[in-house]
Structure 1
Amino acid sequence: MADESSAESRGILDGFGAYRTARPDHHRDLLARGLVVLDTDTLLSLYRCTPQARSDLLGALRRTRGRLWVPHQVLADFWCRREAALSEAEQVTARAARALRKAEEQAVRGLRSWADRVSLGPEELPVLERVLRDAHEHVVARLTEATRQEAAVDTEEDPVVADLDGLLFGRVGDPLPPEEHRAALTEAAGRDRDRVPPGGEGDYLVWRQVLAEAARRGRDVLLVTGEAAEGWWRLDEHGNARGPRPELYEELREVAGVRLFTMRPDAFLRHAHELLGPVVREESVDDVERALRQANTSALQVLAFNFVEVFLTRDLIPDYHSGDGHVVLRAGDAGGRRRAFLVDPPFAEPNASVKWVARLVRTHTETGGDDVVVFPDRPGDRVLDGLANLGIPVMWPVGDHWAGSDPARERGWVTT
């Protein structure tokens, strides 16, 4: 017979605290007395914000400085990724410039084709061509200028480094001792093999240091993370973040006896504004959200600039829309629309990825449309088979060319 006294002492949230909805009083207590932990993506997001949004986010963090703490591994990852974050804007600008050049040539060809069919004086065509080329040149020059102004590789001239140095001085954890570090790497490999979050050596080292600091301080933890994937978050079926991973919540309760809360930097700004006073501007919240979306789709943006060529070879200039984990390129008229869904599903599990991609495609389906899904790399066989069973074409880059599934070849998306 079961122990009734033990059963009576448990409630429906015992062991399931990660599913509890965080309320304003929880947030107020966290900002006043909790341990506020920043991750690498939050620090790097400062490079993608406008100067105004960066100032507001730093101001909100200063209001909680007495509770701020950064694991040593977060800073190790920050310095490893900082120059890539700076060069990311230059790479995107260079690809955008190339795409604009191609669009310019296509526009000039269209102008000349039009001029051949109408009565246009011979002196007018060069003038119109010059107007087109000057407009493109002006846009490319402005993109390059804006990118150069933001990129300060020299740490002595980097305002983000200067601000973080002042904000985080005395708020950074120690590295793990060498023996503990080696043991943690071994444990990370085992957890990754057994699919125990968080995944990857770097994330586990961060988590290991958070566990130790939370146990030392005995305070609830607010992890401010710019990541949107399932390593830290409990995701719903649409890939939306709903709270901390239950496994992480319970591990922190077991090790340190405290609770885990997760929050995106834009949500942190919003709550700081509501609970600490009007320290931020509303547009700054929107800009930080945009910066995080850009960070989470930066690889897809590079992929998008490459994939534009597939449209240009068909004399189509696509429009561009980005969202969490996806970018959509679209061209053509209703009934004959061609769409490319460039995706990075937030789920590691293949079936969940297939469902997420299929739902995304169905959301934009139009009668007579022609859709293809593009991955940054070749997806696994289970994902390919799952999407093929749904009749969804799939492509991925291979060097300077594109490979794809049978449906992609049958529909003419892959021509080589």
Structure 2
Amino acid sequence: MSYIFPFEEFKELWESSPLVIIDTNGFLNLYRYSTETTNQILNILDTVPKEQFWLPAQVIKEFKKNRHDVITREYNKYKEVTKEVERIMLVTKNDIDKQFSKFNKFRFPKVNDFEAKIHVAIESIKEESKNYKEEIKEEVKQNEKMLRDDKVKEFIDELISSERVGEPFNFTQLLQIYSEGEQRYQYKMPPGYMDIEKDKKDNTKREKFGDLILWKQLLEQSKKNNNGIIFITNDEKEDWWVLDKNDIPLRPREELFVEFDEYSDQPLVIMNLTNFINHVSIINNMVDHTTHLEMNADEISEELIAHKSWEEILDDKGDLTSYLIHSGDLQDFVSNPIADVEITEYFPPEIDIESVEVSENQVIIEGTFNTRVGLNITESISRNYSKEVFAPDVLISGYISFEFDVDFEKDEDFIMTDTLNIVASGFEVLECDLPYEEFDEEFDERCIRCGNPNVSYFTNNGDNVCEKCSIHYEICPECGKLFEQGTLGGAFCRPCELERRD
């Protein structure tokens, strides 16, 4: 679970009317929630006096720059669902038609009936896609209306008109920050050094300093502020937070507080928007379960996975193992045909929640995941030989859904875990780190007769022999090793014969 600033400490600070500063990503995230949740969050923010807010000029600059792209993505998000399903069905139908064309040539029994049933199933899925479009029409209309009305921008415009926005730095000040930033980033001093990757697409080499500029503006404002500051950011990178082994924020970086203390003797609190809204909604008696579910979906999904066990979810009924063996996706990373796959280790997943649907007392949370697993892969070298390769770092993505009932009459523990159903599917291998150097050495030599690198057999002396040259040898039917012509006479080799007698 991500870092949570304690409620009792927040409540005590809140009584002193601290300055509230929201980062750009906090505002942009409001476009990604459902209409009801966005409106509820804005209603909660409206309970905070305008004079208690202050926005750095950098936040306004970044909001104006990124707002249009975020809105465009949100306009199209519903279309992507049915569009992708229809694309998959088109590809699937095409592949199936090709296969049945081959089957029909060989006159397999009842193959026409089988084909007809498959096409009925495909048409049924396409029909469900059409039904889905109908069912979400109202939600799409509400979402589009919210984006058109743009209450998020309206909220920010009110802060601007109330003169709750800081002045931008001048040219000389920016040059000083760029110079300081180069030094800070070299020594990984927060914040902002993780954005150095932006240099790859930024010819100016200045965009990477966005977080540092914002931070400097916050520090300058702290000198004028007589109360504490609550800084709200949804950035979860290591240049703001101390992370655990799964990259989950544990606490803000200590260097930030040390630097802040050079400018102000007032307290500084750093937290994410979800944490802030949860605390303020409790103080103002505005707790809404639907909003809570949607804003806390990441943490809730982590708790639900821990409740059921990730291993059980990921490979329920052997689905993941079967996929790894039969799909062909893992085959792209392996030299020889895969005979078997065993999952030896499961690492915690990274979940990206895409939607939360609440209908009366039922909740469906859907999203994607990335996870790493350790594998034992058995490669088939030939009919008679195989080898095992341990792959300690295989990255897999997929889709995940959580379905459960809730009891909103309860203030706490309202999720009825006995109704929980978690499904992981749609797997895809993204990365596979196989230590071939360690294993391939003994298989990498060429055939001793013709030099062919594709060897399939080994002699009793351990020499490599390809499929073509194997006709010059006799093969032991028990161990599969090759022997010189006339050695076996169709029988077993000596070691195998002795073993059979025993």
* TM-score, normalised relative to structure 2: 0.52
Q: 2:393 — aligned with what? A: 392
1:192 aligns with 2:182: no
Q: Distance in 1 between matches of 2:53 and 2:146?
A: 26
SS of corresponding position for 1:135: helix
| Residue-pair matches, total | 320
Deviation at 1:365, TM superposition (A): 4.6
Q: In angstroms, what is the RMSD of aligned CA positions?
A: 4.7
Deviation at 1:159, TM superposition (A): 2.9
Structure 2 residue runs without a partner (length 5+):
193-207, 302-312, 330-345, 351-369, 379-388, 398-428, 438-502
1:242 aligns with 2:261: no
Q: Distance in 2 between matches of 1:20 and 1:89?
A: 28
Query: CA distance change for structure 1 residues 221 and 228 in 2, over 3 Å: closer, same or farther?
Result: same
SS of corresponding position for 1:104: helix
Deviations 1:257-316 (A, max 9, x none): 222211111111111122x2212312212212349999xxxxxxxxxxxxxxxxxxxxxx
- Which of the pair has more CA radius of gyration? 2
Counterparts of residues 128-167 of structure 1 (less than 5 Å): 130-139=123-132, 150-151=143-144, 157-167=149-159
Query: CA distance change for structure 1 residues 405 and 212 in 2, over 3 Å: closer, same or farther?
Result: same
Q: 2:294 — aligned with what? A: 287
Residue 333 of structure 1 is aligned with which of 316, 319, 334? 319
Which amino acid in the other structure matches residue 56 of structure 1? Q
Q: 2:68 — aligned with what? A: 83
Query: CA distance change for structure 1 residues 368 and 389 in 2, over 3 Å: closer, same or farther?
Result: closer
Q: Distance in 1 between matches of 2:109 and 2:66?
A: 52
- Decide whether the 8 Å contact of 2:232 with 2:273 is kept in 1: yes
Deviation at 1:119, TM superposition (A): 7.8
Deviations 1:194-244 (A, max 9, x none): 211111311001100100111111322111111122222222333222332
Q: 1:222 — aligned with what? A: 230
Deviation at 1:92, TM superposition (A): 4.7
SS of corresponding position for 2:242: strand
Q: 1:179 — aligned with what? A: 172
Q: Distance in 2 between matches of 1:277 and 1:292?
A: 23
Which amino acid in the other structure matches residue 322 of structure 2? G
Which amino acid in the other structure matches residue 101 of structure 1? E
- Decide whether the 8 Å contact of 2:31 with 2:74 is kept in 1: no
The farther-off stretch of 109-118 and 163-172 is: 109-118
Counterparts of residues 106-145 of structure 1 (less than 5 Å): 108=93, 117=110, 120=113, 130-139=123-132
Q: 1:407 — aligned with what? A: 434
Which amino acid in the other structure matches residue 176 of structure 1? F
Q: 1:8 — aligned with what? A: none
Query: CA distance change for structure 1 residues 95 and 189 in 2, over 3 Å: closer, same or farther?
Result: farther
Q: Distance in 2 between matches of 1:52 and 1:408?
A: 50
Q: Distance in 1 between matches of 2:299 and 2:158?
A: 23
Q: Distance in 2 between matches of 1:286 and 1:86?
A: 23
Which amino acid in the other structure matches residue 41 of structure 1? N
Deviations 1:103-149 (A, max 9, x none): 32366566996998478599988766544322223435767985676
Structure number with higher relative contact order (C-alpha < 8 Å, ≥ 6 residues apart)? 1
Query: CA distance change for structure 1 residues 124 and 30 in 2, over 3 Å: closer, same or farther?
Result: closer
Structure 1 residue runs without a partner (length 5+):
1-18, 295-327, 341-356, 371-387, 397-401, 411-416
Residue 54 of structure 1 is aligned with which of 31, 38, 46? 38
Q: Distance in 1 between matches of 2:435 and 2:61?
A: 42
Q: 1:414 — aligned with what? A: none
1:36 aligns with 2:20: yes
Query: Would you tell me which structure has more helix in proportion to its own residues?
Result: 1
Q: 2:216 — aligned with what? A: 208
Percent pairwise identity: 19
Q: Distance in 1 between matches of 2:85 and 2:109?
A: 24
Q: Distance in 2 between matches of 1:242 and 1:31?
A: 26
